[in-house]
Amino acid sequence: MSIKTNLFDSSEIRSITQKKGAFSVLEYSRDASVSPDIAQMAFFSSEMNIRKKQLIIQLDGKTGVHVQAKAMQLMIGDIDATTDVKGAGDLFKKIVSSAVTDETIIKPYYSGDGTLVLEPTYRYIILEDLKEWPRGIVIDDGMFLACEDSVEMDLSGRKNASSLLFGHEGLVNSAFYGDGILALESPVPRDELIVVDLDDSIIKIDGNMAIAWSPQLRFTVEKSMKTLVGSAVSGEGLVNVYEGTGKVWIAPVRTNRGISIPEK
């Protein structure tokens, strides 16, 4: 028994734009199935890089994957789907984590030999090799899409009062360790990310614009200037501070929040 599919074939409207490990990203350069009343919006959306994307996972019978719940669209071939719950204690931990993050309780686990296709998204899919994050990566809520089963999933919580009360990064975030590929849904494309590598140094960010960071970095919130009066006069207020040795991803134009409209 064999199965053939044109998923990986390039055409005028779609092509594979990324590939790492078991993951490939299928991107649609334009939407060819729109109705006349939204055709103009669809055209300009594609011109502005607002395009549908799908994550395709090629399973080889050896490597399994964890996937965000309700993300599956197609299973082609001999693929088994199970939960990632390992017992009552693990279920309780997942319930607690879902209560304090925007991640789902259960992340289905897929294994076998075949092709798994996830639902389309207009967000930007980033395939990241954890070799680039030797001590792990912490991500913003809602960014997890899938990972190979060699990746260890955990939680990273706030360790001080200032980041807990004023950091606006949530009580805890999902953290990933080990070897393997991690698929993320980013609010901005990789080309727009500001990547900062810290070596026993510090970065201060006005707002919660960091979308991923090394778990060993010390995260605090402090005044932008030495005095409350100075911070109030400058208009900057509080800043998120990451200190130590590690990496930070910053989305500078995240949903264009806080960006001034140029005067005419």
What is the per-residue pLDDT for 109?
A: 95
- Strands 172-178 and 137-139 come out as antiparallel
Compute the mean pLDDT over every residue in the chain, rounded to the nearest whole number.
83
Region 60-72 average pLDDT? 94
3-state secondary structure of 165: helix
Query: Could you tell me the pLDDT band of residue 226, with boundaries at 50, 70 and 90?
Result: low
This prediction has a pTM of 0.81
pLDDT > 90: what percent of the chain? 59
- Going 59 to 124 to 129 to 133, the CA torsion angle's sign is negative
Region 1-9 average pLDDT? 84
Query: Could you tell me the pLDDT band of residue 165, with boundaries at 50, 70 and 90?
Result: very low
Query: Could you tell me the pLDDT band of residue 161, with boundaries at 50, 70 and 90?
Result: very low
Looking at the predicted structure, is the pLDDT value of residue 66 above 80? yes
Q: What are the residue boundaries of the structural domains of the chain, listed by start?
A: 14-256
Tell me which fold the domain 14-256 belongs to.
Double-stranded beta-helix (3.60.160)
What distance in Å separates the CA atoms of residue 8 and residue 242, rounded to the nearest whole number?
41
Looking at the predicted structure, is the pLDDT value of residue 80 above 70? yes
Q: Name which residue leads in pLDDT, 94 or 6.
A: 6
Note the pLDDT tens digit of each residue in 86-113.
Answer: 654 554 455 555 555 555 667 899 999 9
Looking at the predicted structure, is the pLDDT value of residue 62 above 60? yes
The DSSP annotation for 48-94 comes to TT---EEEEEEEESS--EEE-TT-EEEEEEEEEEE----SHHHHHHH
Residue pair 66/147 in contact by the 8 Å Cβ criterion: yes
Query: Could you tell me the pLDDT band of residue 236, with boundaries at 50, 70 and 90?
Result: low
Looking at the predicted structure, is the pLDDT value of residue 176 above 60? yes
Taking phi over 0 as left and psi of -120 to 50 as alpha, with beta for the rest, 86 belongs to alpha
What distance in Å separates the CA atoms of residue 142 and residue 139, rounded to the nearest whole number?
8
Report how far apart, in Å, the C-alpha atoms of 225 and of each of 161, 196, 206, 221, 222 are.
Answer: 19, 22, 12, 12, 8
First-to-last CA distance in the chain? 65
Looking at the predicted structure, is the pLDDT value of residue 31 above 90? no
What is the per-residue pLDDT for 108?
A: 94
